[in-house]
Amino acid sequence: MSIADQSPLDVLAVYRLAPVIALGRVEDAAPLAEALVVGGLPIAEVTFRTAAAAESLRIMADCGDVLPIAGTVLTKDQASAAADSGARMVVTPGLNPVVVEHVLKLGLPICPGVCTPSDIEAALSFGLEVVKFFPAEAYGGVATLKALSGPYPMMRFMPTGGITPANLSSYLALKSVVACGGSWMVAPSLYEGGDFGPVERAVREAVTLAKP
């Protein structure tokens, strides 16, 4: 079954890792998507932190082999732009009810950022099943996530923020964690010279670390 035929949350549950990408140049989108696919991690969370985000997301979506996710979406306009660019899921750093409602009306799954019980209850009020625990390390890491999972066993989390090869396994060991967001395997420094081989190698290593 191809990526396009699977729900975004099911894909994340299989690979257990979402590369968080900040692209400054549109021309890097296609080779980066190829490096992700060849490396064995066909997921791209393209953050809306740069002017190149929407077009880069469109290019990755058009390749058909990558799950295109829009990250760092802050407004309804950005959410609409993400949907127009082919995003199949939206991730936000916080829980803005206006943005959540808009994304759900667009027919896309959304994974809003949370870090408190009140945030989680707001997410539950929208019928959401997966949220982004962010910024994970800054808000207590694994210990906090364990504590939050106690009263909310129905909620699953995608911790992001400070996730590294050194702590990835400790997060993925939690039953409540569906996947982790990380950027080390797609850091711009790996391909600044135009060679995407280092990205492919870093992705392969990350895939090995994320295996159950």
CB-based burial label for 182 (10 Å; 0-12, 13-18, 19+): buried
The Cβ-side half-sphere exposure at 58, using a 13 Å CA radius, reads 13
Query: For residue 173, what is the enclosing H or E element?
Result: none
Best CA proximity match to 9, nearest among 90, 115, 77: 90
Instruction: Give the residues across from 26 on adjacent strands.
Output: none
- With the C-alpha atoms ordered 197, 203, 209, 212, is the resulting torsion angle positive or negative? negative
Residues carrying an active site annotation: 45, 132
Query: Are the beta carbons of 155 and 124 closer than 8 angstroms?
Result: yes
